Amino acid sequence: KQQHLKVSYNNKRLRILLICFCDSLLVSQLGTKLPRFPASSDYPSDVEPDMRQLVRAQNKKKKKSGGFQSMGLSYPVYKGVMKKGYKVPTPIQRKTIPVILDGKDMVAMARTGSGKTAAFLVPMFEKLKGPQAQTGARALIMTPTRELALQTMKFTKELGKFTGLRTALILGGDSMDDQFAALHENPDIIIGTPGRLMHVVTEMNLKLHNVEYVVFDEADRLFEMGFAEQLQEIIRRLPDNRQTLLFSATLPKLLVEFARAGLTEPVLIRLDVDSKLSDEIKLSFFHVRADDKQALLLYMLRSVVKIHEQTVVFVATKHHVEYLKELLTSEGVECAYIYSSLDQTARKINIGKFVHRKAMVLIVTDVAARGIDIPLLDNVINYNFPSKPKLFLHRVGRVGRAGRSGRAYSMICQDEMPLVYDLHLFLGRPVQLLCHSSGVFGRVPQSILDDESSHLFTAHENSHDLENLHRVSENAYKQYLKSRPNPSTESIRRVKNTDTSLMAVHPLLGSGLEKMELDRLHLVDAIKGYKSKSTIFEINSSSKTQASEVMRKKRSKDTQLVDKFTKQKDSRAAESQLRQPINPTIGVFSSVVGGKRRILRQDGEERANNKRSRQSGKDEEYYIPYRPKDFDSERGLSLSGEGTAFEQQASSAVLDLMGDEGERLNQHKHMMKWDRKRKRFVRESGKGDQKKKIRTDGGQVIDNKRNRKNFYEEWKKKYKVDDADGSDGEMGAGRRPAGGRRASVASIILIHFICTSADLNALKPLPLLW
Q: Report which of 122, 116, 155, 154 is spatially closest to residue 248, judged by C-alpha positions.
A: 116
**Angle of helix 745-752 versus helix 12-31 axis, rounded to 10:** 90
Distance CA 396, CA 250 (A): 13
Distance CA 697, CA 351 (A): 21
**The pLDDT value given to residue 770:** 35
**The pLDDT value given to residue 380:** 92
The sign of the torsion formed by the CA atoms of 486, 491, 493, 498 equals: negative
In the DSSP assignment, the letter for residue 301 is I
State yes or no: pLDDT of 19 exceeds 70: no
CB 186 within 8 A of CB 167: no
Confidence of residue 125 (pLDDT cuts 50, 70, 90): very high
The sign of the torsion formed by the CA atoms of 5, 11, 16, 21 equals: negative
More confident residue, 478 or 275: 478
In the DSSP assignment, the letter for residue 160 is T
Predicted confidence (pLDDT) per residue in 233-269, tens digit: 788 888 888 998 988 766 554 444 565 556 777 887 8
3-state secondary structure of 766: coil
* 729-747: average pLDDT: 46
Distance of alpha carbon 330 from the chain centroid: 31
HEC letters along 60-117: HCCCCCCCHHHCCCCHHHHHHHHHHCCCCCCHHHHHHHHHHHCCCCEEEECCCCCCHH
- Give the chain's mean pLDDT: 72
**The pLDDT value given to residue 760:** 61
**Adjacency order of strands within the sheet including 311-314:** 335-338, 361-364, 311-314, 379-382, 406-412, 281-287, 441-443
CB 439 within 8 A of CB 432: yes
Amino acid 551 reads M
In b/e form, how buried is each residue of 45-56, taking b as 16+ CB within 10 angstroms?
A: eeeeeebeebee
- Determine if residue 732 is left, alpha or beta; phi over 0 gives left, psi from -120 to 50 gives alpha, anything else beta: left
Distance CA 187, CA 180 (A): 11
The sign of the torsion formed by the CA atoms of 726, 732, 736, 741 equals: positive
**The pLDDT value given to residue 327:** 94
Distance CA 723, CA 321 (A): 47
State yes or no: pLDDT of 602 exceeds 50: no
* 733-739: average pLDDT: 41
**The pLDDT value given to residue 42:** 44
State yes or no: pLDDT of 557 exceeds 50: yes
Distance CA 26, CA 45 (A): 31
Predicted confidence (pLDDT) per residue in 157-208, tens digit: 999 989 989 999 998 878 888 888 888 888 999 999 988 888 888 888 888 8
Predicted confidence (pLDDT) per residue in 361-413, tens digit: 999 988 655 556 676 788 999 999 998 887 888 788 778 766 678 899 999 99
91 half-sphere exposure, CB direction, 13 A CA radius: 15
- Domains annotated on the chain, with CATH: 2-32+737-769 (no CATH), 72-273+709-719 (3.40.50.300), 281-513 (3.40.50.300)
Range with top average pLDDT, 300-314, 427-441, 653-667 = 300-314
Q: Of the given ranges (157-171, 474-488, 720-734, 745-759), which has the lowest mean pLDDT? A: 720-734
Q: Of the given ranges (359-368, 554-563, 715-724), which has the lowest mean pLDDT? A: 715-724
The percent of residues above 90 in pLDDT, for the chain, comes to: 16
State yes or no: pLDDT of 733 exceeds 70: no
State yes or no: pLDDT of 141 exceeds 70: yes
**The pLDDT value given to residue 749:** 60
* 561-568: average pLDDT: 80
HEC letters along 679-711: CEEEECCCHHHHHHEEECCCCCEEECCCCCCCH
Predicted confidence (pLDDT) per residue in 574-585, tens digit: 654 334 444 444
State yes or no: pLDDT of 129 exceeds 90: no
Predicted confidence (pLDDT) per residue in 635-688, tens digit: 665 544 444 333 343 343 333 454 566 655 555 454 566 777 777 777 655 444
State yes or no: pLDDT of 88 exceeds 80: yes
Distance CA 691, CA 195 (A): 16
Q: Which residues pair with 388 in a beta bridge?
A: none
* 416-425: average pLDDT: 88
Length in residues, the chain:
770
**The pLDDT value given to residue 211:** 92
